[in-house]
Amino acid sequence: MDLKKYVRDIPDFPIPGILFRDITTVLKDSVALAGAVDAMIDLLGDLEFDIILGPESRGFIFGMPMAYKLRRGFVPVRKAGKLPSEVARREYALEYGSAVIEIHKDAIIPGKKYIIADDLLATGGTAKATADLITEMGGDVVSMLFFIELAELKGREVLDGYDVRSVLVY
């Protein structure tokens, strides 16, 4: 399935000079959505892992159906202030500023193997911050899966040393 034909390009969003890869056109089409989730699952190959993490909010879109289909647990990685229990947190750089992510402290089990699933690899900041938190809490990051990778932003370089897999590369 040619999933690139479902991704809409929006020039000059959110600021002039940026070409935004819009996945809402993938999500609204049942065949494309199923194809995208299945393609991400296929990227896993024979990797052994216990739990999938998905960064807010589009990591939820891909991570949850993957976890459901593979009968694995899912851990949400949230923006600051969204989780009700004790959290571990990390500040990181974005393309246009900075942000903070949080994970419940009891969500990461030392010795367990984790997959990070997200919609987009751009600069790598979110994935790196998530991986750092998992590692600090005793978990093992087995792989990072992305629906889209924007190669020109060199996020893969930030994630050097991690197994990084992408369905679509622009």
> Which positions are annotated as active-site residues?
58, 95
**12 phi-psi bin (left φ>0, alpha ψ -120 to 50, beta other):** left
Residue 3 vs residues 93, 99, 108: alpha-carbon distances, Å: 29, 30, 33
- Rounded Cα–Cα distance for residues 150 and 91 (Å): 22
- Rounded Cα–Cα distance for residues 80 and 65 (Å): 24
**17 phi-psi bin (left φ>0, alpha ψ -120 to 50, beta other):** left
Bridge partner list, 21: 9
